[in-house]
Amino acid sequence: RDFNERCAQCSEVNWGLTDGGRFYCRSCHNVTERTREVVNTDFMTNSRVQTLSKGLRKQEKNDGGSEWYICEGFQLVLKKQVEALEALGVCPQMKDEILCNFWRCYLQKSKQAYCKRPAGEPVKALSVCESSTDVDSDPERPSLLHLLSLSESEGDLQTDCSFASSVSKVSESTSVYSGSVDGSLYFMKNQKEKLSMTMPMTLSFCYMALLWVREPITLSELLRFVVEGHIPYLNVFQHFPEKMKLCGLDLKIFCVESWPVYEEVFNKMHELAAFLDLPRFPDITESCFLHPDMLCMKYLMEANLPDELHNWTCRVVKKIGIGEVDFLTLMPGNKSTRKVKYDVLAVAVIVVVLKLLFLLDDHYEWLLSELAEERNKNNTEVCIFYSGAPYFEFKKWYEVVKHSLDVEQKKLDEERAKYLWRCEKPLFYSAKNKSKVLKRRQMVVNLQNQFGKLSGSGQRAEKPNPSSFQLSWSEENTDRSCFHGHSLKGILQEKCGLLRAMNPDYWLCTVKLCNEKLCGHLAHYREVEFPQTYHFVLGLFSFLLRVQPSYIHDEVCMIEHKLFNKKLSKKLKYNTVLRK
């Protein structure tokens, strides 16, 4: 009754007391740092005693911060990321039924929770392993392992661990340069173990869960949503609770100052799936979005290519067998099967089809384009009201797409150059320098606004709405900049009831593939060794997927060797005979 200050969050005066003697607001459940002062007349006259809970000294450190563990921080990151995916339309079952089980399995396999600690083994710090008396002593701090699945009961999260004195032992052994309890231990362990949790591995967990439920989101789209800010990744620690103080080694673990790399996230996902002993993933069938036929249709539309090319991509997929369920479905731990990059594989099929029809040798595609241009002129001159589909002109397509690609690439480069890597929320770790940090931060913001007005640059643009397409083409344009409905009849000829390419020639990117396990690539890509048209097509799809052109080049070489396997084997045999 004597505490009449208003709540900092809701401005109400409706206080209650916790078991630890702190004041909390009954309206918004905000807990303050103030404690109740009790006058005990039985002990000594005119003396005051401040009531403290049993675990209060144990939980309090670093100017009001609570003890927390690195795995709890990563769990909060996963929670934020999966909630962002749900906001994008992912099925809600992915959070509690898929990702939560993957995370529990990882904690158990890595012996951080849900396990028995062998005698003599160093303590694995984790709040869920604390004794029940420690948890009950401070009801203000909920177990962070409840955050992934809020519907579970407390009994479901109990483990076989019994660490009555684990917190005090770990706290004494850790360095003072870490806000978390096990920051220094985790940092040393991370340098030794391959599958210690890192920020890129949080995206590997998300992609593994997306692949399990067969959601229509590829890895390249997931990473693009991260860069665009739709999925928390950069500076995600600013969403941590106030009591989880970060400093020292914690910042090296959670502070990210680089964009996620496709290859790293992809490889870590496969290592995780094998480490967790996961069974065979659900089948990737023809009706699934990740099937090459479906993805080829998507990327043909985004690359502004004719719809008729989809028939050719389907023929290539069927002929070399990369649309089979066993080839596409992930089987963790099976070293005989190749790791499938679904998005990269699809665009590689399109590149091979373009080479089959247009050759892409800096000569033949321009010759076909001139013939198509003449036929389009003749059709319009003969009949002014000609309504048939125009012949596809490769030269005009190149000019239109290159202009749009240059504009989008320049915009992307400017956004990356202007990106502020520093966290918007200032980081301070003691009450003494809090006011100084806030004042300095406000001064920086004011200076940025003033220089922005002087330079003429406005405020930072808002995040674009999430979309699966980066380049959009409208068929209603009068200048025919959309090539979806254009015809390929000018470059095809009918033979034995089938449409075939007019030119029977084809050039291979490489005659012999490298050992992928030894050098990391099936083939080496150097721009100067290949035609400029081929490089432009690789660059277009490299921009759409945000991957290196060499990744697409590897898949192109793999598809070519599957497609021309018989001819290549005959050629190699002929060469060996000549040498003998």
CB 356 within 8 A of CB 506: yes
Where are the extended beta strands (E) located within 316-399? none
The helix (run of H) or strand (run of E) holding residue 341 is: none
The whole-number pLDDT of residue 19 equals 64
Centroid of chain to Cα 45? 64
| The pair of three-digit structure tokens given for residue 8, joined into one six-digit string | 């900092």
Q: How many Å apart are CA 218 and CA 294, to the nearest integer? A: 12
**Helix extents (H) in 62-143:** 70-87, 93, 100-109, 132-137
The whole-number pLDDT of residue 129 equals 36
> Which residues make Cβ contacts (< 8 Å) with residue 120, sequence separation at least 6?
none
List, in sequence order, every residue forming a beta bridge with 500; answer none if it has no partner: 493
Q: How many Å apart are CA 502 and CA 491, to the nearest integer? A: 6
Q: How many Å apart are CA 13 and CA 4, to the nearest integer? A: 6
> Which residues make Cβ contacts (< 8 Å) with residue 315, sequence separation at least 6?
none
**Helix extents (H) in 383-472:** 394-418, 434-455
The whole-number pLDDT of residue 157 equals 34
CB 451 within 8 A of CB 215: no
The whole-number pLDDT of residue 124 equals 43
Q: Per-residue pLDDT tens for 112-130? A: 877 765 433 444 443 333 3
The answer to whether the Cα torsion of 447, 450, 452, 454 is positive or negative is negative
The whole-number pLDDT of residue 406 equals 94
The whole-number pLDDT of residue 430 equals 55
Specify the residue for token string 């809701």. Answer: 10
The helix (run of H) or strand (run of E) holding residue 22 is: strand 22-25
Q: How many Å apart are CA 167 and CA 61, to the nearest integer? A: 13
Q: What angle do CA 201, 205, 206 make, to 5 degrees?
A: 115
Q: How many Å apart are CA 415 and CA 270, to the nearest integer? A: 32
The whole-number pLDDT of residue 58 equals 45
Q: Per-residue pLDDT tens for 405-423? A: 999 999 999 888 877 777 7
Phi, psi (deg, nearest 5) at residue 327: -75, -35
The whole-number pLDDT of residue 168 equals 38
Q: How many Å apart are CA 355 and CA 353, to the nearest integer? A: 5
pTM: 0.77
**Helix extents (H) in 151-254:** 166-173, 183-192, 199-213, 219-227, 249-254
> DSSP code of 157?
G
Q: How many Å apart are CA 151 and CA 148, to the nearest integer? A: 9
Specify the residue for token string 């991370």. Answer: 190
CB 3 within 8 A of CB 23: yes
> Which residues make Cβ contacts (< 8 Å) with residue 33, sequence separation at least 6?
22, 64
Q: How many Å apart are CA 277 and CA 230, to the nearest integer? A: 31
Residue 81: name the closest of 166, 205, 188, 244 by CA: 205
Could you report the average pLDDT of every consecutive run of 10 residues in the chain (580 residues)? 73 76 74 62 42 40 68 92 94 91 92 63 40 34 40 35 36 51 75 80 97 95 94 87 79 86 95 94 95 96 94 95 95 88 97 95 93 86 64 94 94 84 65 69 77 64 76 65 88 78 85 70 83 96 95 94 76 43
Q: How many CB atoms lie within 10 A of CB 261?
A: 15
Query: Which three-class secondary structure state does DSSP give residue 480?
Result: coil
Q: How many CB atoms lie within 10 A of CB 509?
A: 22
CB 202 within 8 A of CB 82: no
Residue 71: name the closest of 121, 116, 109 by CA: 109
